[in-house]
Structure 1
Amino acid sequence: MLTKDEMAAQVAKDIPRGAYVNLGIGQPTLVADHLPEGSGIVLHTENGMLNMGPAAREWEVDPDLINAGKVPVTELPGASYFHHADSFAMMRGGHLDVCVLGAFQVSATGDLANWHTGEPDSVPAVGGAMDLAIGAKQVFVMMSLFAKDGSPKLVPTCTYPLTGIGCVDRIYTDVATFVIESGRLAVVETFGITVEELADRLDVDLDAVRGDQ
């Protein structure tokens, strides 16, 4: 099984050079620490920053410089700041190449549920997820494949309230990476588990393992 940092590294290597990217709150923020130097990838935050750098180390912390998850971050040369509304205009206007989001559930056809479990006592946290899910050109999800009770988060149909329909392109988990193309789910790579074992634990159809593209 991959650690969260190893999952983040898997995501980082698949982000195209020069892409404009938003990293969602939680695990996806770790991707910033694994982007190769000189890649030209520009990180966008919904609270109003372009060209965000990795997470700030203790001596680098500036209380006025945070990402959307309130985590202290650094800035790279050429970083710029703008109004929250302008940031959402970038998200909604199709100006982001990739967003990386966490999820409670993803369906086999790419539906995303990541803002509310539907439980009466849970606190919904939609943030900008709906805007990113429909506004980014590609949506990557980073999550553990199984919940604490062992139930899969990759499901035939989402049972939690939806964030977006048919919007997910790639799913990065601790035991496997998947792609969704033309409504079909394919395994790209597995970690510490065979495809047969994976199929036994998931109630979804999996295409044969194929080389990543």
Structure 2
Amino acid sequence: MFERLSREAMARKVAQDIPGGSYVNLGIGLPVLVVNHWQPEDEVIVHSENGILGMRALSADESPDPDVSNAAKQPVGLVTGGSYFHHADSFAMMRGGHLDYCVLGAYQVAANGDLANWSLGKSGLAAAVGGAMDLAVGARNVFVLMEHVTRDGGPRLVEQCSLPITGARCVKRVYTDLATIAVTPEGFKVIDMVAGLSRARLQELTAAPLHFDEGPA
């Protein structure tokens, strides 16, 4: 038997893999939880596309400022030396290659690194790509944080995306509630997975071949 990672545990894994001194954007949804797992001494500079550099999580006893929020309109704080700026300047940072990492949610990730995260392709459902496509092409490293399967149990890691593409061949690593997976020239390579989960079961939940290091199955 195996136990899926909680959302906070997933976010913690991402935070641990981003080195100090990095400039990082966190997408709306699961990725915003990553900011909870950095301390000021980690010196990770968090960018928000609505015009913040130096975003941080609020402490437990801190009253939120209604004028300070992230792109998801959630209250946040500002580190000492942080700054606010125009939306256009924020997108210039995103598009200009100034971010070391971005962490995005996704509906699907393909084995070649294609990302689909802005539309379910269904008529009648409002969808907007927002800043995701700018981050997908502008950040030096694109990490995806998502649950391994859909609510219906369908795979999110696939051979080819069937949903509208946000960015082509941009994803370098995927973090799910079951595993951490790198996108390599050979396809998906499993870095680690939750205790008690077999390779065979993880493959059953993935619609593309998985590659593993040598060792017990």
TM-score class, shorter-chain normalisation, is: over 0.9
Tell whether 2:73 aligns with 1:70: yes
Aligned residue number for residue 205 of structure 1? 209
Amino acid of the residue matched to residue 205 of structure 2? R
Deviates more, 1:195-204 or 1:127-136: 195-204
The total of aligned residue pairs comes to 211
Do the aligned residues in 1 keep the contact of 2:149 with 2:205 (CA within 8 Å)? no
One-letter amino acid of the counterpart of residue 114, structure 1: N
1:186/1:210 contact within 8 Å kept: no
State the superposition RMSD in angstroms.
1.6
- 1:6-36 residue CA offsets vs partner (Å, 9 max, x unmatched): 0000000000110000000011000000124
Does structure 2 retain, via aligned residues, the 8 Å contact 1:110–1:183? no
1:88 corresponding residue in structure 2: 91
Query: Which of 186, 190, 198 lines up with 1:194 in the alignment?
Result: 198
Runs of 4+ displaced beyond 3 Å: 55-59
Give the TM-score taking structure 1 as reference length.
Answer: 0.95
- Residue number in structure 1 paired with 2:9: 6
Match of 2:123 among 108, 117, 120: 120
Amino acid at match of 2:125: S
Residues 210, 181 of structure 1: alpha-carbon distance in 2 compared, 3 angstrom cutoff: farther
Per the alignment, residue 22 of structure 1 pairs with: 25
Matching residue within 106, 111, 120 for 2:114: 111
2:47 is aligned with 1:47 = no
Contact map agreement 1:55 1:71 (CA 8 A) in 2: no
Alignment gaps of 5+ in structure 1: none
Fraction of identical pairs, as percent = 50
Task: Quote the Cα distance in structure 2 between the aligned partners of 1:78 and 1:52.
Answer: 10
For structure 2, the residue ranges without an aligned partner over 5 or more in a row are none
Which residue type is aligned with residue 127 of structure 2?
Answer: P
Q: Does the residue aligned with 2:94 lie in a helix, a strand or coil?
A: helix
1:27 is aligned with what amino acid? Answer: L
Residue 132 (structure 1) shift: 0.1
Instruction: Give the Cα separation in 2 of the matches to 1:44 and 1:128.
Output: 12
